[in-house]
Amino acid sequence: MSIGILGKKLGMSQFFDEEGKSIPVTLIEAGPCRITQIKSEATDGYTAVQLGFGDIREKLVNKPAKGHLAKSGEAPLRHLKEYRLEAIDGLELGAPVTVGDFSPGQKVDVSGDTIGRGFSGLQKRHGFSRGPMSHGSKNHREPGSIGAGTTPGRVYPGKRMAGRYGGKQITTRGLTILKVDAERNLLVVKGSVPGKPGALLDIRPARRVGVPAAN
Amino acid sequence: MATEIDPSTEVDPQTPDAEPQSVEAETATETVMATAATTVKVTTGKLSARALIDEFEAAQLKSDLPEIYVGDTVKVGVRIREGNKERVQPYEGVVIAKRHGGLNQTITVRRIFQGIGVERVFMLHSPQVASVKVERRGKVRRAKLFYLRDRVGKATRVKQRFDR
């Protein structure tokens, strides 16, 4: 049974399957995480566990966080993340969560921040087509018309325009785990995941609408 | 990156406290060396992201590939599955291009089949490529022999070289 795990994106590579097909894969260094808090119906009104991940220097942790982490173990942790669970029996404070909880063939959802692209224009942000670059045209990457005239006399809400693009959390769903290396804390998933190498990722068993969660 | 370690803590057999780390580092390199001829830079303990990816790829690299140059005539054994049966079909031709490196390395092999030029791109480290044998070394002055596409008959011959 896997709760979920926090990890770091290492980068992409490829993998040959039995048929010799080359499959694009992402390598993720996931865990080991530590259970830092268990939330129960009695204390919090719902059931969940909080996992901690990542080395951090002692002095970078403030006192409240230190006090919270001290309940579950010695080492300070950089990231904390809560996972809603139906059953929390058998889970212990301070217990490790490793990639060993996942198995090859399992489907997972991977969340993380996408690559930040800053203030981007319409071509990059919304896939608009651009104007001609030559033949006297001055409309290279302009937005064009953003609406009608006096009627309605305003721009409709939701009109796609230039603005901040990327750098927000998305979830890539239903990725297949191809390999689990418990020794190296390595997860190999098929396909791509959000962010650049080094980005923090949240890996959970895949959930589907209408399909009850496995745990 | 948390795993980047400053050079002073690099494996040094002289200092006693570095001893267990050096053992670890050695075993790590050995496993990689055993699978392929590439060396992975190993720092103490934890591996960097690049090293982990290199190790993952090194495990899939073939160690028995011959050295292939552009211009060589090679015979490639291609695994073909027909239903449940698997057989190896040879494909012979001139290497007109090499691309990429490492796990992604490919060669483009050109041959004239029934009067029609056929080019196939093989991923050298793919299990579909059962074997590669160099039949003849070619003497060429280009890295890509795309000019062969415009030639017919005798002009498509590549001069043989004997020093490789």
Q: What is the mean pLDDT of residues B22-26?
A: 45
Looking at residue A58, what is its pLDDT?
85
Angle at B68 between CA B67 and CA B72, to 5 degrees: 135
CA–CA distances in Å: residue A138 to residues A51, A120, A127, A134, A210: 54, 19, 20, 8, 51
Tokens of A42: 């009695």
For A144-159, b/e burial (b = at least 16 CB within 10 A) is eeeeeeeeeeeeeeee
Looking at residue B22, what is its pLDDT?
44
Residue A211: name the closest of A175, A185, A178, A174 by CA: A174
In the predicted structure, residue A113 carries a pLDDT above the cut 80: yes
Residues A178-205 have pLDDT tens digits of 999 888 889 999 999 999 999 999 999 9
Q: Give the pLDDT band (50/70/90) at residue A214.
A: low
Q: Which residues of B touch A11 (CB under 8 A)?
A: 49-50, 53
Looking at residue B98, what is its pLDDT?
94
Q: Give the pLDDT band (50/70/90) at residue A208.
A: confident
Residues B68-114 have pLDDT tens digits of 999 999 999 999 888 888 899 999 999 999 999 889 999 999 999 99
Looking at residue A188, what is its pLDDT?
93
Q: What is the mean pLDDT of residues B50-59?
A: 88
- Cβ contacts of residue A161 below 8 Å, gap of 6+? A122, A143, A146
Residue B104: name the closest of A9, A25, A176, A15 by CA: A15
Looking at residue A211, what is its pLDDT?
75
Q: Which residues of A touch B55 (CB under 8 A)?
A: 184
Contact B47 A197 (CB under 8 A): no
* Cβ contact A215:A85 at 8 Å: yes
In the predicted structure, residue B4 carries a pLDDT above the cut 80: no
Looking at residue A213, what is its pLDDT?
61
Entry pTM:
0.76
Q: Which of A29-33, A60-64, A141-145, B1-5 has the lowest mean pLDDT?
A: B1-5
CA–CA distances in Å: residue A163 to residues A92, A113, A120, A125, A171: 45, 17, 5, 8, 21
Q: Nearest CA to CA, how far is A138 from chain B (Å)? A: 40
Contact B53 A10 (CB under 8 A): yes
**Cis peptide bond upstream of A32, omega within 30:** yes
Looking at residue A134, what is its pLDDT?
94
Residue A200: name the closest of A2, A62, A31, A50 by CA: A31
Read out DSSP for B42-83? --SSSPPHHHHHHHHHHTT--S-PPP--TT-EEEEEEEEEET
In the predicted structure, residue A111 carries a pLDDT above the cut 90: yes
Q: Is A24 within 8 Å of chain B by CB?
A: no
Tokens of A124: 């990059």
**Cis peptide bond upstream of A76, omega within 30:** no
In the predicted structure, residue B162 carries a pLDDT above the cut 50: yes
Q: Which residues of B touch A193 (CB under 8 A)?
A: none
Neighbours of A124 (CB within 10 A): 14
Q: Nearest CA to CA, how far is A99 from chain B (Å)? A: 16
In the predicted structure, residue A89 carries a pLDDT above the cut 90: no
* Cβ contact B148:B73 at 8 Å: no
Q: Is B83 within 8 Å of chain A by CB?
A: no
Residues A156-182 have pLDDT tens digits of 999 999 999 999 999 999 999 999 988
Residue B160 DSSP symbol: B
Dihedral angle computed from the Cα positions of residues B40, B104, A117 and A132, in that order, rounded to the nearest 10 degrees: 150
Looking at residue B45, what is its pLDDT?
56
- Which of A17, A27, A78, A188 is the best residue to mutate to test the B interface, defined by the most B CB atoms within 10 Å of its own CB? A27
Share of chain A above pLDDT 70, in %: 98
Looking at residue A71, what is its pLDDT?
85
